[in-house]
Chain A
Amino acid sequence: MSTAQSTAQLASAASSEVMIEINRMNKWYGSFHVLKDIDLTVHKGERIVVCGPSGSGKSTLIRCINALEEHQEGEIIVDGILLGKNLKNLDHIRTEVGMVFQNFNLFPHLTILENLTLGPVWVRKMGKAEAIETAMMYLERVKIPEQADKYPGQMSGGQQQRVAIARSLCMSPKIMLFDEPTSALDPEMIKEVLDTMVDLADTGMTMIVVTHEMGFAKTIADEVIFMDEGDIVERNNPEKFFGNPEHERTQKFLSQIL
């Protein structure tokens, strides 16, 4: 439990309020065991970066947190609510947890503004004028307010991804999940998205980010988690993680990608 120990001490930036708690969670795709006995606690305001080779289950893990995937064993508690068969709870969690995907998943038939106001209007039952105001505020924050009336297809990948972040923020979520947000982007656009995410981190948002951008991990992460073959192999603060990885699988992985 040495890793857990260090977690507690270094997470001082974050509050002690637990946002996500996962206990001995298991998931299978058919007979394939994707996630094995996962234990994970994330406090409010913590920024966690998850890395690992492809197929290690890191995307599946955060998709389970958002109830996009069903887990078969163990418990996931998000914002004090247990993910189970209760539809009302599931709806609640989906609105409280924002998610940003590798392929943006913006709605191509709606303008940027409509993409942003859809959730607030139809799910949060916000007035249209208020929703537009909120949406414009977040568009300012991701620095593309002038694109509000365009369609997603008219924008670059980096801009689309920033819109996707703004879309999630419009729902004022308590947790933001990022599933390899920069993997589908051209190199020159990665930075604008990462900058947006750094800005977001500065606001104290609880974030879990699956990414291979190690520079980004070093700058913002409170913790870095390394996953391999469905296990959480190592969890450490960035300095230790990159400077002195403990587990040999982590060492091997880092030597490959750095």
Chain B
Amino acid sequence: MADVTNAKAIVRERPKEEFNFFQDQRVRSAFYQILTAGVVGWLVWYLVSNTAYNLEARGMNTGFGFWNVSAGFDTDFKLIEYQPGVGTYGRIFMIGALNTLLVSFLAIILSTILGFFIGVLRLSNNWLVSKVALIYVEIFRNVPLLIQIVFWFIGVFSLLPVVKKTIDLSFGTGRVLLNNRGLYFATPIPGGLFWMTLLTFAIAVIGVIIFRRRAKKLQEADGTQTRTLLPSLAAIVLLPLAVFFITGMPLEWNVPELKGFNFVGGTSVPPAFLALLVSLSIYHAAHIAESVRAGILSVNRGQSDAAMSIGLPSGRVMSLVIIPQAMPAIVPPMISNWMNTVKNSSLAIAIGYSDIVSLFMQTALNQAGYAVEMVGMTMAFYMFISLTISFFLNIYNKRVQLVER
């Protein structure tokens, strides 16, 4: 292009980009970043040095030495061995963490089942049923969870009959008992030949899996449809049951029995556990129901029309066309609901269920001090759970995206 000479060429200096310190993009970017890092760094340093000074001045304990120190208090609900005065604070942390996980896990299962159920009811073509489901959702979503928890605890589970008037939920066999001290249930003790029942069960499950695969192949090969549901159920339930009876019912029950003023034997959970479990399940079921409904509605109306038009029965329309497409819209909010269930289980502190917050962050902290460490550890526990759950969510999202491509 240099030979543009016939027109009167304007002699033009090639513009050099003069380095202007205040206008340079790199300088600006570095400046803002250093500024941010500086302010945050200074704030952290300021808080840390204040804390260090205050801890020193108040003679408070620091460090993680408490982990191996024995704790002097007891807890009413624990999944692992612990003796006050012998067990350590580390043990207390573990008890709290396990209790949190237990109640959250059960609440997640219950709320998911209930939530799917209510969500489907919301879409029922029976006007009354869908309105009742709507009322359920609106009531439980719009009342603070804490009020619900306290209500279930004080208003329901604490008002149950006293020990002497225990309600038997197992039709008089004394295996599931409910009173104002909690829920008692018998625990099975496997006898000598019980392994045969388990083995049969395992064989039945494997057999069913093979059977269903073959049925599917058969259908793909020549279109023969085999009924799989009833035979599979029969195999899984009846076979082990038969073996169980043949081997002479080798299962003992450790049944709770009334001794003095309380029940001994079996396993029990306190009323606070029940209140927390019930209220978490009900509250989160309302949220899950909404995401299930939204997910199903998000599937284009044309999809069900198209499925109907190729003659699929309405049950198959749901299971083969609608649900698979709705899942990508249902799963992410549902998983975030599960995460919220874990976090909301921390409200246990209001009714005294020994979860990690009330046991470790409150009781242990009050006993031993170590405010910074104990609050930090509790938060780290929740962060770990959240990271784990979102890790699986990301895997799911990636898989869904791959399929959709």
Contact pick for A16, options B1, B7, B20, B25, CB 8 Å: B7
Most chain B beta carbons < 10 A, residue from A8, A85, A88, A90: A85
Best-surrounded residue of B1, B4, B12, B18 (most CB of chain A within 10 A)? B1
The answer to whether B10 and A89 have CB atoms under 8 Å apart is: no
Q: Which residue of A8, A82, A84 is within 8 Å of B4 (Cβ)?
A: A8
Chain B interface size band reads: 20 to 34
Whether B15 and A41, one on each chain, are in contact in the complex, defined by CB atoms closer than 8 angstroms, is: no
Query: Knowing A17-B10, A87-B24 touch, does A82 contact B15 (C-beta < 8 A)?
Result: yes
Q: B25 contacts which of A12, A39, A80, A85 (Cβ < 8 Å)? A: A85
Residue pair A16, B17 in contact (C-beta under 8 Å): no
A16 contacts B8, CB within 8 Å? Answer: yes
CA distance A12 to B8 in the complex (A): 11
Indicate whether A4 sits within 8 Å of B12 (C-beta atoms), given known contacts A85-B24, A86-B23: no
**For A185, what are the chain B residues with a Cβ–Cβ distance below 8 Å?**
none
Asked if residues B26 and A85 are in contact (CB atoms below 8 Å), the reply is yes
Interface size class of A (residues with CB under 8 A): 20 to 34
Q: Is the CB of B16 within 8 A of A82?
A: yes
In the complex with contacts A41-B1, A80-B15, A87-B6 CB distance below 8 A: no
Do A1 and B17 touch (CB < 8 A)?
no
Check B3 against A84 for contact (C-beta < 8 Å): no
Asked if B12 contacts A87 (CB within 8 A), the reply is no
Task: Note all chain A residues with C-beta closer than 8 A to B217.
Answer: none
B230 contacts the other chain (CB 8 A)? no
Report yes or no: B25 in contact with A86, Cβ–Cβ below 8 A: yes
Q: Mark B56-94, 1 if CB is under 8 A from A, else 0.
A: 000000000000000000000000000000000000000
Cβ-defined contact, A86 with B9, below 8 A: no
Inter-subunit contact A4/B1 (CB<8 Å): yes
- Which 7 A/B pairs are nearest by Cβ-Cβ distance? A16-B7, A85-B25, A88-B23, A84-B17, A8-B4, A82-B17, A41-B1
Given A81-B15, A87-B24, 5 further pairs, Cβ under 8 A: A18-B10, A40-B1, A77-B14, A85-B24, A85-B26
Q: Give A contacts to B, CB under 8 Å.
A: 1, 4-5, 7-9, 12, 16-18, 39-41, 77, 80-82, 84-90
